[in-house]
């Protein structure tokens, strides 16, 4: 059985940080549509040029485009043992497409991280990412005002100057727009998942460590197994493929 996990929740809920860690600890890829699109913008590719303005306004890129990107990513061999999706699906059409992509791959576990809007605005305004590799400061356990001089994520980041920047879509007005779109387009889609036996909700106001523990517990309970068995599950699947 694969470990297919979808992280749901508003911008700033901590999905990216938790997805990153869960994926690393369980040996499965994290697929973040926001990161994929930001990398495309950064590299100046055709895709990047097509989505730059939409992203800067805090609006959603087209369903067809993003579904194509996710479909391609999830059919690569490293995603067969499972994946952690962050930032997808965001609309009903994307949720339907994901059902279709994963139809033969075992259950998809959906975990919603809930955080009140005012706390989200506060967090996102203070958020910093590495301008070079896109890493989120939170992922290294640092708050924006106590960041190390250099991003430590890649050799390149460690060797060049300070690169922490605010995301161009993290200004207060754009964050409020993103929250509006979240409540209008994405939250109703979560209702689509909430009736499933593999849907879980966790409280995102807890510390990152508590959220991490709650996430592992939620995934294990959705699969009906003790948390300690999760890693064995993925290891077995990878072994079976080798
Ligand atoms: P957030 O902090 O809002 O979770 P992300 O990093 O997930 O931000 O996404 C940043 C931006 O990338 C979004 O505001 C949107 O423009 C675009 N984007 C990311 N994922 C999707 C998606 N599944 N559908 C449409 N647009 C997306």
> What local confidence, expressed as pLDDT, does residue 242 receive?
43
Instruction: State the Cα–Cα distance between residues 9 and 123, nearest whole angstrom.
Output: 14
Please report the domains of the chain, with CATH numbers, ordered by start residue: 3-116+173-241 (3.40.50.300)
Task: Tell me if 224 sits within 8 A of 107, measured CB to CB.
Answer: no
Tokens representing 127 are 């958020």
Determine the pLDDT at residue 55.
Answer: 94
Report how far ligand 1's centroid is from the alpha carbon of 229 (Å): 32
pLDDT at 234: 64
**Do strands 3-8 and 108-114 pair parallel, antiparallel, or not at all (unpaired)?**
parallel
- What are the catalytic residues? 15, 90, 127, 167, 178
Burial class of residue 177 in the structure, from the number of CB atoms within 10 Å of its CB (0-12 exposed, 13-18 middle, 19+ buried)? middle
Query: 179: Cβ below 6 Å to ligand 1?
Result: no
DSSP letter assigned to residue 3: E
Question: Residue 236's pLDDT is what?
Answer: 61
Q: Stretch 137-154: mean pLDDT, rounded? A: 77
Comparing CA positions, the residue from 175, 172, 194 lying closest to residue 183 is: 175
Residues 184 and 2 sit within 8 Å (Cβ to Cβ): no
Stretch 205-213: mean pLDDT, rounded?
93
């Amino acid at each position: 059985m694969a470990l297919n996990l979808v992280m749901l929740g508003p911008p700033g809920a901590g999905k990216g940080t938790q997805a990153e860690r869960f994926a690393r600890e369980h040996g499965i890829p994290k697929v973040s549509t926001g990161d994929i699109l930001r990398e495309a913008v950064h590299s100046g590719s055709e895709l990047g040029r097509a989505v730059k303005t939409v992203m800067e306004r805090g609006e959603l890129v087209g369903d067809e485009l993003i579904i194509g990107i996710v479909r391609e990513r999830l059919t690569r061999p490293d995603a067969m043992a499972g994946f952690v999706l962050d930032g997808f699906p965001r609309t009903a059409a994307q949720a339907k497409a994901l059902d279709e992509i994963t139809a033969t791959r075992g259950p998809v576990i959906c975990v919603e991280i809930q955080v009140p809007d005012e706390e989200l605005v506060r967090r996102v305004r203070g958020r910093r990412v590495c301008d070079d590799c896109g890493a989120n400061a939170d992922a290294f356990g640092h708050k924006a005002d106590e960041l190390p001089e250099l991003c430590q994520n890649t050799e390149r980041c460690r060797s060049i100057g300070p690169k922490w920047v605010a995301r161009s879509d993290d200004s207060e007005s754009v964050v409020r727009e993103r929250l509006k779109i979240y409540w209008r387009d994405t939250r109703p889609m979560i209702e689509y998942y909430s009736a499933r036996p593999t849907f879980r909700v966790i409280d995102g106001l807890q510390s990152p460590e508590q959220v991490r523990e709650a996430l592992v517990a939620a995934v294990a309970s959705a699969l009906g197994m003790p948390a300690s068995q999760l890693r064995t599950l993925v290891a077995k699947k990878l072994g079976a493929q080798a």
